[in-house]
């Protein structure tokens, strides 16, 4: 199986590859446990972490995407679908940057070849976007409006742009952010699917598990003041790292933003609180994974997840009694 398809299973060519291979979805969910496990992990990680987790081997990666679409359809919750799609898209953007080579990932492993023009073809945008000599791009204004409509930052407003002859200038970084929105649209296209009973029955256990996770993830907390000395050791360590300017990987940033958002902080408050070492745009982006349009919220990562990502550090006595960083904070405040 093609590595590019495994990394971007929402590509048309990936779908065609699956069709041409004559793969039967019922056969996959009944017999390929690694694929079903990875599908569940895609959604689980998407709902709680904002990205789809570590990749597996190519076949599992590629096939787990259509199975994840089936699973999210069975859950049939618009908030979950949107959050999952945004996690797929966020991961895709990171991969675009790595595979096109716009960001130094610090890794030397071989990347599949990807170009901006290949991406524009993929989303049928080749005629709407042209590249300037300096490497920046011009985007047709209606395409720009369509792709930027869910981006909150002021800089995306049309009045902030030097529109000329019906075209909006965007940098390469901005173009990839707009393509991330195109990925969200691609992933959500056609969802929820009509799932045959035979497949729904086979995936009943996985669906149940994810529905339970979802039910446990909706909550909202509110505190009059934030008492930072009562923060759990993991969050204290992450905040110290961020404030001192050390680089913190995406899961760590997500954990802090999610923790602070769990205390009803909005984008600006989180920005002020962490002393502005993570950009407002990055914070807004991560909050978008946490909050749905109806105001529901997903919980910040639990202790188990923090351990999985090596983010559980400096555990103390209270840590032995709790399962969640928020629970730690509540217990500390009560004390």
Residues 60-99 that bind ligand SF4 (CB under 6 A): none
Residue 253: CB partners within 8 Å, gap ≥ 6?
242, 278, 282, 286
Residue 90: CB partners within 8 Å, gap ≥ 6?
50, 51, 180, 285, 289
Q: Which is nearer to ligand SF4, 232 or 251 (CB)?
A: 232
Shortest spacing between CB 254 and ligand SF4, in angstroms: 14
| Contact between 263 and ligand SF4 per CB under 6 A | no
Task: Please check whether residue 242 is in contact with residue 276, taking contact to mean a CB–CB distance below 8 angstroms.
Answer: no
Choices 98-106, 209-217, 284-292, 312-320 (CB under 6 A): range interacting with ligand SF4:
312-320
Q: Which is nearer to ligand SF4, 1 or 313 (CB)?
A: 313
Q: Which is nearer to ligand SF4, 85 or 256 (CB)?
A: 256
| Contact between 312 and ligand SF4 per CB under 6 A | yes
Q: How far apart are CA 86 and CA 93, in angstroms?
A: 10
Q: How far apart are CA 218 and CA 202, in angstroms?
A: 27
| Contact between 325 and ligand SF4 per CB under 6 A | yes
SS3 state of residue 131: strand
Residues 208-237 that bind ligand SF4 (CB under 6 A): 232-234
CA nearest to 95, candidates 107, 79, 83, 82 = 107
How many residues lie near ligand SF4 (CB under 6 A)? 10
Q: How far apart are CA 126 and CA 85, in angstroms?
A: 24
| Contact between 251 and ligand SF4 per CB under 6 A | no
| Contact between 300 and ligand SF4 per CB under 6 A | no
Chain residues that interact with ligand SF4, rule: CB under 6 A: 232-234, 303, 306, 312, 315, 319, 325, 328
């Amino acid at each position: 199986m093609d590595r590019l398809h495994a990394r971007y299973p929402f590509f048309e060519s990936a779908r065609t590859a699956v069709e041409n291979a004559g793969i039967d979805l019922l056969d996959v969910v009944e017999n390929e446990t690694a694929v079903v496990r990875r599908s569940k992990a895609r959604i689980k990680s998407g709902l709680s972490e904002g990205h789809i987790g570590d990749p597996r081997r190519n076949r599992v990666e590629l096939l787990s995407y259509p199975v994840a679409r089936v699973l999210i359809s069975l859950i049939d919750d618009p908030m979950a679908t949107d959050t999952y799609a945004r996690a797929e898209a966020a991961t895709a953007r990171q991969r675009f940057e790595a595979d096109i080579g716009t960001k130094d990932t610090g890794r030397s492993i071989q990347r599949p070849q990807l170009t901006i023009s290949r991406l524009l073809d993929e989303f049928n945008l080749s005629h709407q976007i042209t590249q300037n000599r300096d490497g920046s791009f011009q985007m047709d204004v209606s395409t720009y409006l369509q792709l930027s409509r869910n981006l909150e930052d002021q800089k995306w407003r049309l009045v902030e742009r030097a529109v000329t002859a019906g075209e909006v200038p965007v940098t390469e970084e901005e173009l990839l952010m707009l393509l991330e929105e195109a990925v969200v649209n691609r992933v959500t296209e056609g969802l929820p699917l009509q799932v045959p009973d035979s497949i729904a029955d086979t995936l009943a256990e996985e669906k149940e598990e994810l529905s339970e996770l979802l039910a446990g993830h909706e909550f909202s907390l509110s505190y009059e003041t934030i008492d930072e000395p009562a923060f759990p050791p993991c969050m204290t360590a992450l905040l110290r790292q961020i404030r001192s300017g050390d680089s913190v990987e995406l899961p760590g940033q997500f954990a802090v933003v999610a923790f602070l958002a769990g205390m009803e902080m909005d984008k600006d408050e989180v920005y002020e609180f962490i002393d502005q070492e993570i950009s407002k745009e990055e914070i807004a982006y991560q909050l978008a994974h946490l909050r749905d349009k109806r105001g529901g919220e997903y919980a910040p990562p639990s202790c188990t997840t923090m351990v999985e990502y090596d983010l559980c550090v400096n555990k103390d006595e209270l840590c032995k009694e709790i399962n969640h960083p928020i629970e730690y904070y509540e217990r500390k405040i009560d004390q």
